[in-house]
Amino acid sequence: MDETQELETVFEQLKKDLDEGNLQEFRETFLDMHTYEQGQFYQSLTEAQRLIVYSYLSPKEVGDMFDVIEEDNEYMKDYLSEMRLSYAAEMLSEMFTDNAVDLLSTLDKREVAKYLSLMNAEDAAELRVMLHYEDDTAGSIMATEYVSIVANQTVRSAMYVLKQEAKTAETIYYIYVVDQENHLVGVISLRDLIINDDDMMIADVMSERVISVHVGDDQEDIAQTFRDYDFLALPVTDYEDHLLGIVTVDDIIDVIDEEAASDYSGLAGVNVEEISENPIKAAGKRLPWLITLLFLGMATASLISHYEVLVSEASILAVFISLITGTAGNAGTQSLAVAVRRLAMNDDKENSFFATVIGEVLTGIVTGAITGLTIFAIVAVWKGNPILGFVIGMAMMCAITVANLAGSLIPMLMDKLGFDPAVASGPFITTLSDLTSVLIYFNIASLFMSYFIGS
């Protein structure tokens, strides 16, 4: 029996214990599971079964499980609403603050106020502060459960503080050193605490060079810092360097997943999170882009219609329209993907705008020239007309160069204007490339019409 089958067997037994009222057996098996497995089991239950779970588990035990359930789960509001108000409020106060804030931020203000009013004053005040931070910033994803010590204490006393606070801290691998006004002045790792003599002063063993993030920093920039330094957690400070909280690597994994989904949605011109939605809602989210692109596509159709006389005189030109537009669109999409990745990696800060433009033009010319020479040879042999091959090859090279440049410059421009460069979606670049490549193709063809009229 593999692990998945074994887990399904455990789930079935737990459901049976719920249905038969076997409280002790249920608690022993359930609490022995990993919190992720608890969350998976909980989400597989019916409402009636979940109501029994609330009577079998304490708010703290349910809160631990809710810490690992994705806050964007579409049923989270339903889960909260089916609990008793006091039970739900206590459960929220037992969760890590960042997770509780994520969950509360999905509710309307009246519901949030209702839950906060039932919590103890300290927890409620902390959550109110956290709820005011802007979305997608360090403040919105930080946790306030961390361990801090002061510099003028010994390693022995620091270990005592760590043992006292470890149970509620989100991570204990880094211990942050603060002064009397809670300014961040240093950091020490758990390993350093263990290997140093008990009588050593924290000031002598701590590192004063602390990498921190500001409470208003964008979560994507914070993810980049985690990537660069391989940290498990980063301290979050305000403008005066007061320690406010920490961002942990598990939150950053969620951020990376969220940003990747956002970028892919932009590149595809569709919300990739809609897979669980009904067809009507999914269609409603896709239609705006499709209608916009439809009108842009009509511009391409109008342009082709403008050259209708040219096509009627040399019908062979119509054969290669889709070949040129399709290849240029593919080149533009490739360039777009690289540009978005470059911006995400902040590589654009290392190179000037002019250098980037020159690089993309050269890349477009090289790829376009090779592609153009290839199609020139194919068409010249296939149709026995080198001039036609030259026209197709030259149009291909120019269209790819322009598409390559557009695919790079448009996201760069959007980034400069403060918009997410990923919204310069692949379908948009492809449709724009169709328009420009048709214009290039027919203008070049018109210069050589006498060589293939009647073809």
Contacts of 335 (CB under 8 A, 6+ apart): 360, 363, 364, 403, 404, 405, 406, 407, 408, 429
HSE (side-chain half, CA atoms, 13 Å) at 349:
4
User: For strand 233-237 and strand 213-214, is the pairing parallel, antiparallel, or unpaired?
Assistant: parallel
Chain centroid to Cα 343, Å, comes to 14
Per-residue pLDDT at 274: 53
Region of 296 (left: φ > 0; alpha: ψ -120 to 50; beta: rest) is alpha
d(Cα 412, Cα 109) in Å, to the nearest integer?
A: 37
Residue 412: its pLDDT value, please? 79
- At residue 421, the pLDDT reads 62
Q: What is the pLDDT of residue 173?
A: 92
What are the chain's domains? 3-141 (1.25.60.10), 148-257 (3.10.580.10), 272-451 (1.10.357.20)
What pLDDT shows up at residue 271?
55
Q: What average pLDDT values come out for the chain (455 residues) when binned by 10 residues? A: 82 93 93 93 93 94 90 79 94 92 89 92 90 89 93 94 91 94 95 94 94 92 89 93 93 78 55 58 70 78 82 83 88 80 60 72 89 92 89 92 86 73 66 87 86 59
pLDDT at 282: 66
- Looking at residue 421, what DSSP letter applies? G
| Beta-ladder partners of 28 | none
pLDDT at 72: 58
